[in-house]
Amino acid sequence: GQQLNQSPQSMFIQEGEDVSMNCTSSSIFNTWLWYKQDPGEGPVLLIALYKAGELTSNGRLTAQFGITRKDSFLNISASIPSDVGIYFCAALRRSGNTPLVFGKGTRLSVIA
């Protein structure tokens, strides 16, 4: 089946540091997305990317859709305690009735 390989699995960083995580696949996807899940809550969409090479920012978050359409990364600059949570990459193979595929998540811990 379609799999997204997300890394790192977990990260411990100091407040104020920048964070980078990425997602790769052996398959081509037409849409890449990044979600964040806080404890006890459902995932919340952070950034959606629709074109190969696209670089999009949302506040301190920046994500890119890889040029090969097989990868994406998410950067968080100047981390703060509320950045703690699990970050998931997700991707859609093509439009229509295909399921959204999720990576296994990156658990981020921020030490104040």
Partner 1 sequence: DTAVSQTPKYLVTQMGNDKSIKCEQNLGHDTMYWYKQDSKKFLKIMFSYNNKELIINETVPNRFSPKSPDKAHLNLHINSLELGDSAVYFCASSHGTGSGEQFFGPGTRLTVL
Contacting residues toward partner 1, per CB under 8 A = 31, 33, 37, 40-45, 48, 86, 88, 90-92, 94-100, 102, 104-105, 107
CB 65 within 8 A of CB 49: yes
We find the least distance from the C-beta atom of residue 16 to partner 1, in angstroms, to be 26
Nearer to partner 1, 37 or 77 (CB): 37
We find the least distance from the C-beta atom of residue 108 to partner 1, in angstroms, to be 13
We find the least distance from the C-beta atom of residue 2 to partner 1, in angstroms, to be 11
